[in-house]
């Protein structure tokens, strides 16, 4: 799953690849979304295993 997420992230970052500078707003938005999804997954895993 982690490999798929990284491939999807890099695919999104390289779409419409021109000589333009990187769009930092899009990069920050995707990174924060990935962090949020990761935290939700960790919370769900903790609840499911009874560790929290």
User: What is the reported pLDDT for 32?
Assistant: 94
Whole-angstrom Cα distance, residue 52 to residue 50? 6
Cβ(24)–Cβ(18) below 8 Å: no
Global pTM reads 0.56
The residues spanned by each domain of the chain are: 2-13+22-49
pLDDT digits (tens, 9 = 90+) for 11-41: 777 766 666 777 888 889 989 999 999 999 9
Cα(12)–Cα(46) distance, rounded to whole angstroms?
Answer: 30
């Amino acid at each position: 799953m982690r490999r798929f997420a990284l491939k999807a992230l890099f695919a999104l970052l390289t779409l419409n690849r021109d000589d333009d500078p990187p769009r930092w707003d899009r990069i920050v938005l995707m990174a924060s979304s990935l962090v949020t999804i990761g935290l939700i997954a960790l919370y769900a895993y903790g609840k499911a295993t009874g560790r929290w």
